[in-house]
Structure 1
Amino acid sequence: MAEPGAVSGVERHGRPRDPENDAAILDAALDLLIERGAAGTSIEAVAQRAGVAKLTVYRRWRAKDDLLMAALEHARTPDMDAAPARQSIDELVSTTAELLSRPRFRALMARVIGASVDYPKLVTAYTERYLQPRLNALAQIAQQAIDAGRLPADTDPSVIHDILASSIGSVLLQHGEDVTAAQVERRLRTLLRHIGYRA
């Protein structure tokens, strides 16, 4: 028997799973998470949005937490994966700025952060699968910049993480406003210059 949320080609009752149903359900769950937040999303609402029976959703994911975690994984795109350690800080700034300029991505991050109290499993999954790998790569990128003399020798690599995190928080607070990639990149580069970074 497949675990809830596990990838499988067969439903619990032995019938082949329909990949189109899976995609429709996960798309619907993601849309509702962004629109209503975790608390406002229900399996019944997801089924209705996806155009499938409620039982079809429950056959795949027994609990809402499992469904929402699967939806977050489904939302990932290659440019949301961890930055390769060989990437420069300049490249990282550009890709981060472009990602943060997407209204849908900002809304999703805000919803996940807002769910931290009532849905800690959701935030933990998001952190482990998305944020932590990026932070690990970021530490290596920062150290390479220090070794190359682009940052002062006494720079703590974690300060790069703090700069990115503060900028992300600032952008999320502007969720009702249009934010361009150029604006985010300009802010990041200004902060980096203040700690002695040389592009």
Structure 2
Amino acid sequence: MTTAKSGDRRAPGRPRSRAAEEAILKAALALFLDHGVEGASIERIAKRAGVGKTTIYRRWSSKEELLAQAIGRVREDAERDMGVTDFRDFAELPLGPTLHRMMEAGAELMASDDNRKLLARLIGSVQSHPRLLAIYWETYLRPRREAFGVMLDQAKMRGELSASADTAMLQDMMGGAMLHRLLIDPAPPTAEDLRAYLARLLQQLGLTEAKG
């Protein structure tokens, strides 16, 4: 009985905490998109989210940790929309068709103005705020890169990639090509443009079944 009553007393506080956290993450992302790291101060985030600064500091030790989670949340939501919860779940599936399905599902989001703006803001902070990218790398990018590497290694074992393929370099090439098309090319891609570009990219990397 004591445990149940204790749980009952705590229960009302949990939804409010979740609501506050969501408001903080939403505010942090919006300010980062509009003003960059410099304009996304803890004070401004707290004001926009309608919370006190102490509420933020109870959850995150720094602005960079907060922004990294806010950016990561966008990626996690996008992955769920693409049907991805863990790249390792796809390790036993044919690589080309699997990447093609993910590409089809994610092209519209990747080509969106908000996504391109988010990428530009993140890359633009590398020199001025290196800790932000360091946290984002360790928390979000590196685990996904390692899981994606497992997919590529399994594809090599199945003969879908050359036995001599450098899977780390393949990931760099894919990431670099994507950044070029999304940020460097002066013509913003539509979702259809990006689907066609990604299909060509996968074929050039030796994934001849990319359209299968």
TM-score bracket relative to the smaller structure: 0.7 to 0.9
Gaps of 5+ in 1: 1-9
Deviation at 1:27, TM superposition (A): 0.7
Aligned: 1:197 with 2:201: no
CA distance in 2, matches of 1:53, 1:43: 9
Deviation at 1:32, TM superposition (A): 0.8
Secondary structure class of the residue paired with 1:18: helix
Deviation at 1:31, TM superposition (A): 1.0
Q: TM-score, with normalisation over the residues of structure 1?
A: 0.75
Corresponding residue of 1:3 = none
Secondary structure class of the residue paired with 1:152: coil
Corresponding residue of 1:52 = 51
Distance 1:94-1:177 versus aligned 2 partners, 3 A rule: farther
Query: What is the aligned residue count?
Result: 186
Deviation at 1:43, TM superposition (A): 1.5
Corresponding residue of 1:162 = 172
Deviation at 1:163, TM superposition (A): 2.8
Q: TM-score, with normalisation over the residues of structure 2?
A: 0.71
User: Partner letter of residue 44 of structure 1?
Assistant: E
Corresponding residue of 2:97 = 90
Aligned: 1:32 with 2:42: no
Distance 1:38-1:89 versus aligned 2 partners, 3 A rule: farther
More deviation, 130-139/64-73: 64-73
Percent identical residues = 33
CA distance in 2, matches of 1:130, 1:64: 17
Corresponding residue of 1:43 = 42
Contact 1:82 1:133 in 2 (8 A): no
Q: Deviation above 4 Å: which 4+ runs of structure 1?
A: 174-178
Contact 1:139 1:157 in 2 (8 A): yes
Deviation at 1:165, TM superposition (A): 1.1
Distance 1:31-1:86 versus aligned 2 partners, 3 A rule: farther
Contact 1:152 1:197 in 2 (8 A): no
Contact 1:167 1:187 in 2 (8 A): no
Higher helix share: 2
Corresponding residue of 1:77 = 77
**RMSD of aligned alpha carbons:** 3.0
Secondary structure class of the residue paired with 1:112: helix
- 1:171 pairs with one of 165, 181, 184: 181
Distance 1:149-1:24 versus aligned 2 partners, 3 A rule: same
User: Partner letter of residue 102 of structure 2?
Assistant: T
CA distance in 2, matches of 1:177, 1:42: 32
Corresponding residue of 1:145 = 155
CA distance in 1, matches of 2:65, 2:149: 30
Distance 1:36-1:174 versus aligned 2 partners, 3 A rule: same
Contact 1:29 1:67 in 2 (8 A): yes
Corresponding residue of 1:4 = none
